[in-house]
A and B are shown apart, each in its own frame.
Chain A
Amino acid sequence: MTAEELDIQLFTTAIKQASGYDFSNYSEKSLRRRLAKVLMDNKMDLKTLVAEIRKNGQFAEKIVKEITVNTTELFRDPAVWQAIRYRILPYFKEHKVINIWHAGCSTGQEVYSMLILLNEVGMLDKARVFGTDLNSDVLEVARKGVYKYRFNIGYLDNFDKVIKENPYNYEIFYDVPYSKYFEIDKNKDLITMNKFLTEKAVFKKHDLVQDDNIFPCKFDIIMCRNVIIYFNYNLQNRVFQLFHESLYPGGYLILGMHETILGPYSSFFEKKEQFYVKKTT
């Protein structure tokens, strides 16, 4: 792999001019790695890629989609979802409305995880759940709520842990069938989310790098998991500012298992276990 020698700036400049997307504040190592992968997948060297990006806007859009990482899982990190279920959601139980934003939601599995959880605790009706991503292709997948069974079969264990078991009382077992939330078709290799979930979710295009809060409301919970790991310190800071402005006081910011708030915004949040709560003053 010769990605290390490549001129990243040449690439980010060309992309910015052709598509408006700005990757200059992405984390260096992952961007190099993604670029190397894109070059390999497209069987191009950097010079050809940059030239193609400059003369073909659609190609530039395609490369933007390939550069971004789109991995996600149903109930990734069950312990986090158990904590959301038993520690965070009860706090909003008496609220009339609960607004939730999944920033960088990719193909939407976390949005559906949240909707399923909300339904289990009887809060779905008063919830407004939004998922955003900069990649319109993944959003289209998210809207349909149809996934490969084979790639997701491992995550049914996660479902069991979060939905059927109670970590605080092992004698409790909720016998919730998968069919309550999705249909599994092993022959077609598909998992299809039930209609009441896909109709409830709202997916919109949003770029964390440059867009403000595009919703006409503030949020009680913002989930942004394993997204800021791809951003450098400066860009992370911008995103924390956006999240801080977009949360109600007392609102929760939920990051990935190995993400933290570094820098000035850490003092505007109180850390509760692995979650960040926006301070009231």
Chain B
Amino acid sequence: MKVKGFMAKTENIGYKAVIIGGSAGSFQVVTNILQSLPADFPLPLLLCLHRLKHVRSGFVEALSLKSKLPVIEPFDKDAIKPGKVYLAPANYHMYIELGNRFALSTEETVNHSRPSIDLSFITAAHAFQNKLIGIILSGANKDGAYGLKVIAEMGGFTIVQDPNQCEMPTMTDAAINLFPKHNVWTIEKITNFLINLK
């Protein structure tokens, strides 16, 4: 089986974290992914999703509804633990520090965004190096494209949701244009890949 051979390869790499960035049109996709992941998912899953400025609460609850994994908005300096889903808190940038911890920041917006996907991705890339899986989903701006490229350059595994499948393909297009070598996958394939991570 094709998938099995591929999985055998990824198993050896020993990934340490998955980070997903998304904006407009990504909420349903993330919900579906969370619904599919097993309760014993072996990695921390970091989410950096743009949200409407005034919808600051209720997001965690909405994502938790169908997730078998706990969904948390981390506090500053919280340790990053496997089997948990971490959502970048509203109105903060979420950095990944060396030593497997989060650091939050209220710095200016980047690409009009706070949280900025680029900043989360870049810091995660430096913290996890080639042990990181980075995924960009549907979105209506270009945030994340640069960050995903950095993950790829640090040797991480990078995936872009198939733009044909995206409600808003600006973000995925930007990522592919900036770095054409990303894996461009459908949501089904992405989900299947994540489910099979060991």
Partner of B77, one of A34, A257, A262: A262
Q: Does the CB pair B77–A233 fall under 8 Å?
A: yes
Size range of the interface on A? Answer: 20 to 34
- Which of A228, A257, A260 lies at the interface centre, i.e. has the most chain B CB atoms within 10 A of its CB? A257
Q: B123 at the A/B interface (Cβ < 8 Å)?
A: yes
A33 contact from B57, B95, B98, Cβ within 8 A: B95
Chain B residues with CB under 8 A of A27 = 97, 103
Known A258-B73, A258-B74, A258-B92; contact A30-B103, beta-carbon cutoff 8 A:
yes
Is there contact, CB below 8 Å, between A260 and B107? Answer: no
In the complex, A154 Cα to B96 Cα: how many Å?
A: 29
Report the minimum CB–CB distance from B148 to chain A (whole Å).
14
- Distance between Cα atoms of A197 and B53 in the complex (Å): 28
Interface string of B49-63 (1 = CB under 8 A from A): 000011001000000
In the complex with contacts A30-B95, A228-B76, A258-B104 CB distance below 8 A:
yes
Query: Does chain B have a CB within 8 A of A157?
Result: yes
A260–B79 Cα distance when bound, in Å, is: 13
- Specify which chain A residues have a CB less than 8 angstroms from the CB of B107 in the assembled complex: 30, 33-34, 69, 71
Question: What DSSP secondary structure best describes chain B's contact surface?
Answer: loop
The answer on a CB contact under 8 Å between A258 and B75 is yes
Question: Provided the pairs A29-B95, A233-B77 are in contact, do residues A257 and B89 lie with their beta carbons within 8 angstroms?
Answer: yes
Choice from A29, A157, A257 contacting B103 with Cβ under 8 Å: A29
Number of A-B contacts (CB under 8 A): 65
The reply to whether A229 and B106 form a contact with Cβ atoms under 8 Å apart is: yes
Q: Give Cα A157–Cα B55 distance, bound, in whole angstroms.
A: 12
In Å, the complex CA distance between A209 and B53 comes to 33
CB-CB under 8 A from A257, the residues of chain B are 89
Question: Could you tell me the distance in whole angstroms from the C-beta of A136 to the nearest C-beta in chain B?
Answer: 20
Chain B residues closer than 8 Å to A229, beta-carbon distance = 76, 103-106
- Tell me if B11 counts as interface (CB < 8 A to partner A): no
**A259 beta carbon closer than 8 Å to chain B:** yes
Q: Which residues of chain B are near A217, meaning CB under 8 Å?
A: none
A259 and B53 contacting across the interface, CB-CB below 8 Å = no
**B interface footprint on A234-247 (CB within 8 Å = 1, 0 otherwise):** 00100000000000
| Pairs across A and B, CB under 8 Å, 16 listed | A1-B122, A1-B150, A28-B103, A29-B95, A33-B105, A33-B123, A69-B106, A71-B106, A76-B91, A226-B104, A229-B105, A256-B104, A257-B89, A258-B104, A260-B75, A260-B76
Binding site for A on B (CB under 8 A): 53-54, 57, 73-77, 89, 91-92, 95-98, 103-108, 119, 122-123, 126, 150
Interface residues of A (CB under 8 A from B): 1, 4, 27-30, 33-34, 69, 71, 76, 79, 154, 157, 226, 228-230, 233, 236, 256-260, 262
Give the 7 A-B CB pairs with smallest separation, nearest first.
A29-B95, A229-B76, A226-B106, A258-B75, A229-B104, A71-B106, A29-B97
